[in-house]
Amino acid sequence: MNNPFEQISAAFMPEYRVNLSIERLDGSIMLTLSDAQGIVAKRLVHAAQRNDPKRLQRLIESIQFGLAIERGHSAVAILTAMTERDRTTLHGAPH
């Protein structure tokens, strides 16, 4: 997926409503995630983050991590899952 806006939306939908709006003249955008109770997260996404797939993925994971912690999930379990996924991505799926 090359479109960063689609990548961001896909990462958080359908659990959250995703709103992306131009925030600054430098190309930064504001990502707002909301649910039935209201806004759950707001993050400024700089153009450099948005245009670098690795940085964008790290930003998405950071937001997902923060949301999971706020919902009471174990930080250790989340980090372990993220590490395992990264290891699989780097070395290929186990045979």
What local confidence, expressed as pLDDT, does residue 36 receive? 93
Rounded to whole angstroms, the Cα distance separating 58 from 81 reads 14
What local confidence, expressed as pLDDT, does residue 68 receive? 84
Mean pLDDT of all residues in 40-53? 94
What local confidence, expressed as pLDDT, does residue 95 receive? 45
Nearest CA to 40 out of 58, 67, 62 is that of: 67
Residue 24 has pLDDT above 70, yes or no: yes
In whole numbers, what is the pLDDT of the chain averaged over residues? 84
In the chain, domain spans: 4-91
Chain-centre distance for alpha carbon 35: 16
Residue 82 has pLDDT above 80, yes or no: no
Q: Where are the alpha helices (DSSP H) in 1-95?
A: 4-12, 47-50, 53-70, 75-91
Confidence of residue 87 (pLDDT cuts 50, 70, 90): low
Rounded to whole angstroms, the Cα distance separating 9 from 39 reads 15
